[in-house]
Amino acid sequence: MYDLIGDVHGHARGLIRLLELLDYKPQKGLYQHPGRQAIFVGDLVNRGPESREVLQIVRPMVQSKHAYAILGNHELNLMAFFTLDNNNKPLYSHSIRNMLQLLPVFESFRSAEAELYDYIDWMYTLPLFLEFEDLRVVHACWHQDSINYVRKHFPGHKFNRDLLIQSLQSRGPEYKAVQMLLKGLEIPLPRNKKGLDAESVRRGFTRVKWWEDHHGKSYRQISTQAKSNLPKYKIPSNLISLDLAYPELAVPVFFGHYSLNGKPNLLKKNICCLDYGVVKNEVVTAYRWNGEMKLDRRNFVQS
Ligand SMILES: [Mn+2]
């Protein structure tokens, strides 16, 4: 059975505390459990100070089949930073802003550049989602059309250089599918920016709760971010074109990404977010899954 582990974001000590709580023991240099496997939902790196240490823990677990890992948007940015397009320009440009965005990763790999490149190569081996008979895992949003697209067009459900270039440089179906799975649905904020926090205004978009029906809801109700500052009026219906409903009878889906507040709770009986703000509190969140189709909030474990 599986232990699903949320965003780690460079917090190795939080991860070690969590693995020990889950009875994973370091043997022959890697954390393992005699009867279970871990599944990391992506965003292992960045933000926190120990990206290198986190990768040093997770990669051996994956390579020895004690764990699975999928890609998060922070891994995607890092891969894109070090991948050149056909004009020899990095896919994620080396602007000051982008460098600052990835600075915690670069600092943790200071004078270990070759090791970082090696991890980038490893990231290319990680899939964009996992689907088992009775379990689904994605970093941000299980959007069935996007899953189907990746399943059909990405061999092994992974990137290669060409697919990464296409996904980031086109505005085509690869781009949409990758954005949806790794970043989720984001909707543009209203023109009237009065009262919005600076981050929302800068980005111009807000992340939404894809697991809820948006019809007739306000920005404030449907956003996962900066709740109190968003307008109370209804989202225009032209922005709610996508059918994101996750079927009630579908197998459980696990994801991270949303940095939710408060104590972990299930979003639905078969929908479970595992990111409860590791960036804010250094607490990594997991769900110990024993095959149940109806999830149970008592199975959350936090470091
Ligand atoms: Mn994320």
- Interval 119-146: pLDDT, tens: 999 999 999 999 999 999 999 999 999 9
- The domain that holds 99 is classified in CATH as 3.60.21.10
Q: Tell me how far the alpha carbon of residue 43 lies from the centroid of ligand 1, in angstroms.
A: 5
Quick one: 93 and 205 in the same domain? Answer: no
Q: What angle do CA 102, 275, 25 make, to 5 degrees?
A: 90
How many domains does one find in the chain? 2
Q: Tell me how far the alpha carbon of residue 261 lies from the centroid of ligand 1, in angstroms.
A: 15
Q: Tell me how far the alpha carbon of residue 182 lies from the centroid of ligand 1, in angstroms.
A: 7
The model's pLDDT over 228-258, given as tens digits with 9 standing for 90+, comes to: 577 777 777 777 656 678 999 999 999 999 9
Q: Tell me how far the alpha carbon of residue 28 lies from the centroid of ligand 1, in angstroms.
A: 31
CB 175 within 8 A of CB 168: yes
Can you give the pLDDT at residue 130? Answer: 98
Which residue's entry shows tokens 């994101």?
244
Range of the domain at 201: 186-241
Q: Tell me how far the alpha carbon of residue 80 lies from the centroid of ligand 1, in angstroms.
A: 15
The model's pLDDT over 13-44, given as tens digits with 9 standing for 90+, comes to: 999 999 999 999 999 889 999 999 999 999 99
What's the mean pLDDT in 36-56?
A: 98
Q: How far apart are CA 15 and CA 17, in angstroms?
A: 5
The model's pLDDT over 175-184, given as tens digits with 9 standing for 90+, comes to: 999 999 999 9
Quick one: 45 and 82 in the same domain? Answer: yes
Domain boundary among 226, 241, 256: 241
Q: Tell me how far the alpha carbon of residue 87 lies from the centroid of ligand 1, in angstroms.
A: 29
Q: Tell me how far the alpha carbon of residue 99 lies from the centroid of ligand 1, in angstroms.
A: 17
Listed in sequence order, the residues at least 6 apart from 114 whose beta carbon sits closer than 8 Å to its beta carbon are none
Quick one: 261 and 289 in the same domain? Answer: yes
Quick one: 230 and 107 in the same domain? Answer: no
Quick one: 213 and 266 in the same domain? Answer: no
The phi and psi torsions of 147 (rounded to 5 degrees) equal: -60, -45
CB 229 within 8 A of CB 197: yes
Quick one: 228 and 295 in the same domain? Answer: no
Quick one: 163 and 200 in the same domain? Answer: no
Can you give the pLDDT at residue 277? Answer: 87
- Least Cα distance to 286 among 70, 25, 15 occurs for 15
Can you give the pLDDT at residue 227? Answer: 60
Q: Tell me how far the alpha carbon of residue 225 lies from the centroid of ligand 1, in angstroms.
A: 13
Quick one: 140 and 226 in the same domain? Answer: no
Calculate Rg over the CA atoms of the chain: 19
The dihedral through the CA atoms of 85, 141, 229, 302 has a sign that is negative
Exposed (0-12), middle (13-18) or buried (19+): which is 39, by Cβ within 10 Å?
buried
Quick one: 13 and 129 in the same domain? Answer: yes
CB 229 within 8 A of CB 201: no
Can you give the pLDDT at residue 241? Answer: 56
Quick one: 100 and 230 in the same domain? Answer: no
Using 50, 70 and 90 to split pLDDT, how confident is the model at 151?
very high
Can you give the pLDDT at residue 246? Answer: 92
Residue 205 has pLDDT above 90, yes or no: no
Can you give the pLDDT at residue 240? Answer: 66
Quick one: 137 and 250 in the same domain? Answer: yes
User: Which DSSP string corresponds to 121-190?
Assistant: HHHTTSBSEEEETTEEEESS---HHHHHHHHHHSGGGB--HHHHHHHHH--SHHHHHHHHHHH--EEEPP
Q: Tell me how far the alpha carbon of residue 122 lies from the centroid of ligand 1, in angstroms.
A: 18
Q: Tell me how far the alpha carbon of residue 41 lies from the centroid of ligand 1, in angstroms.
A: 9
Quick one: 129 and 262 in the same domain? Answer: yes
Which residue's entry shows tokens 């992974």?
158
